[in-house]
Amino acid sequence: MNLQKILPSGWVASVLFVAGSLVLGSLLHDYSSVAQTVSEIGKEGSPFYLPWQIFSVSIGLLMILFGIGIVIFSKQNKLPVIPGIFLLAYGVSQSGIGFFPAPHHLHNIFGLSMMIGYFSPVVFALSWKSKVGKNFQNISYLVFMLIMLGVALNLSPAFDKTLYSLEYYGIVQRFLLFTFYLYVAYVSVKTIFHISS
C-alpha cells in the first residue's frame, strides 16, 4: 500500500468534519451551533438526515483508512502499532453513529465508544516516545489533557447540570471534537513529512 496516498486521509477527514459540520449546521433552519450537538444536524426527522448519515459514515471510513495507514507506517518504522488501532476504533465508532443517527439507542453507544479514540494522543506519546521528537510528545500530552477536559465537560450534564449553562453545550462538544480532529490532522501531516524527508 502507498502510504503517501493513505496518510492524507487523516487531515482530509479532519478538514471535512470541521468544515462540514459548520456548513451543514449553518444551513439548517433553527439550528444553533452554540447550543446544539452535531448529531442534531442529522437526527431522525431532520432535512439533513440522509446527507448527515453519508457525511458521518464517510468521515468514519476516512478515519479507518488513516488508522490502517498509521499501522503500516508503524510497522515500516519499527514503532508500536497500538496508536493506529486506537484510531481504527474511532473510525468504527464514527461510522456507527452515522449508521444509527440520533435518537437511535445505538447512537449513544457508538458515541461513548469514541472514548477509545480519544486516548490516542496519550498512546502516541507513550508508545512512540523513544522514536519521535520531544515536540511531538509534548503536543500529544497537551492535546490529551484538552480532550479529557472536553470529555469531562461533555459528560458532566449527566451528573451536574449546574456546572455550566447548557445553552453552550454545542460549543463544549465542538471543543472536544475539533481538538481531536486537529490532532489527527497534525499526526497525518507529521507522518507524511516523515516519509517525504
pLDDT digits (tens, 9 = 90+) for 149-176: 999 999 988 788 777 888 999 999 999 9
Evaluate if residue 130 carries a pLDDT over 80.
Answer: no
Nearest to 181 by CA among 20, 3, 41: 20
Angle at 124 between CA 56 and CA 110, to 5 degrees: 30
Q: What is the pLDDT of residue 164?
A: 81
> Whole-prediction pTM value?
0.94
Instruction: Please report whether residue 121 resides in a domain.
Output: yes
Question: Which range has the top average pLDDT, 46-55, 123-132, 153-162?
Answer: 46-55
- Which amino acid makes up residue 153? L
Residue 130: all three cell numbers together: 523513544
- Mean pLDDT, to the nearest integer, of 50-79? 96
Provide the residue range defining the domain that includes 161: 3-190
Instruction: Please report whether residue 44 resides in a domain.
Output: yes
Instruction: Please report whether residue 102 resides in a domain.
Output: yes
Burial zone of 86 (CB within 10 Å; 0-12 exposed, 13-18 middle, 19+ buried): buried
Instruction: Please report whether residue 59 resides in a domain.
Output: yes
Q: What is the pLDDT of residue 197?
A: 64
Burial zone of 62 (CB within 10 Å; 0-12 exposed, 13-18 middle, 19+ buried): buried
Instruction: Please report whether residue 197 resides in a domain.
Output: no
Instruction: Please report whether residue 151 resides in a domain.
Output: yes
The DSSP line for 114-145 is THHHHTHHHHHHHHSTTTS-HHHHHHHHHHHH
Instruction: Please report whether residue 178 resides in a domain.
Output: yes
pLDDT tens sequence across 4-42? 899 999 999 999 999 999 999 999 999 999 999 999 999
pLDDT band for position 112 (cuts 50, 70, 90): very high
How many domains, the chain? Answer: 1
Asked if residues 10 and 66 have their Cβ atoms less than 8 Å apart, the reply is yes
Instruction: Please report whether residue 95 resides in a domain.
Output: yes
Name every residue whose Cβ is closer than 8 Å to that of residue 19 and which is 6 or more positions away in sequence. none
